[in-house]
Amino acid sequence: MPVPHPPEFHRRAVELARRQDKPATELAKGLGISESCLRSWVKQADVNQGHAEGLSSDEREELRALRRQVRVCGDVVVAQPPIRGP
């Protein structure tokens, strides 16, 4: 998996894309990212700012954390010996 770009890089890339001074393909190439990556960042920024439907970045992170907890708890439950009655 590629190393994630810092949040400031995301913010600036989205800002440049919204200005539409250059085509998205050209801008993405200049930034060293794919056009689909840039479009994804713009779409997520729209969601985060309430301009589009979907899960915000904070909600996505919370969902990831909850899924991790469920996996860990599930592993603990599976590892427990069955409870036997009297």
- CATH number (domain holding residue 32): 1.10.10
Per-residue pLDDT, 72: 83
What are the angstrom distances between the C-alpha of 75 and each of 15, 55, 62, 81?
43, 27, 20, 12
In a domain, 53, yes or no: yes
Domain that holds residue 68: 7-79
The 10s digit of each residue's pLDDT in 29-78 is 999 999 999 999 999 999 999 999 999 999 999 999 999 988 888 766 66
In a domain, 85, yes or no: no
Per-residue pLDDT, 48: 96
As a whole number of Å, the CA-based R_g of the chain is: 20
As for how many domains the chain has, the answer is 1
In a domain, 73, yes or no: yes
In a domain, 1, yes or no: no
In a domain, 84, yes or no: no
For residues 25-32, average pLDDT = 96
In a domain, 20, yes or no: yes
The 10s digit of each residue's pLDDT in 42-56 is 999 999 999 999 999
Report the amino acid identity of residue 62: E
